Amino acid sequence: MKSLFPVISLLTMALANPVFAAAEHDSHHPAGSGAASDKAAASAGTVKKIDKAAGKITIKHGPLANLGMPPMTMAFRVSDPAMLDQVKAGEKVSFTAENVGDALTVTALEPAK
C-alpha cells in the first residue's frame, strides 16, 4: 500500500493540472473531430431576393446542420457585398452560413453546379 501512494498522488496531480488534463482530453479527440473545429458545410438553396443596399440575401434552403436549423426561407447578411453580384433571384446556389457576431451570415456563395 505504501508503494502505491506516490503513484496515486502523481496521477491525481497530473489529472488535476489543466495542461495534463487537456492533453488527456485531446488524446481521445483527435484534431478536426470536434464540433468547434468542423468547418461549416455548404448547403443548397434558391435565391429569393437580393437586397444590395442592406447587404442581405434571402435564400430558401434545406436544413443547415452546422446551425441546427430546419428548412426555411430567410434573409442572411453576407460577409462580402460582392457576393451579391455573383447570383440572381431564382437561381439555385451553394452557400455556407455561419453565426458571425450573433448574426447569421453567408460566408461563401456560388451558383449551383
102: left (phi over 0), alpha (psi -120 to 50) or beta: left
Taking alpha carbons only, the member of 75, 82, 85, 81 closest to residue 48 is: 75
Question: Looking at residue 69, what is its pLDDT?
Answer: 94
How high is the pLDDT of residue 26?
Answer: 47
The confidence score (pLDDT) of residue 113 equals 86
Instruction: Give average pLDDT by consecutive 10-residue segment, the chain, 113 residues.
Output: 60 52 46 46 95 97 94 97 96 96 95 91
Which pTM does this prediction carry? Answer: 0.66
Among 50, 47, 110, 106, residue whose Cα is nearest residue 78: 106
Question: Which pLDDT belongs to residue 41?
Answer: 83
pLDDT of the residue at 111: 95
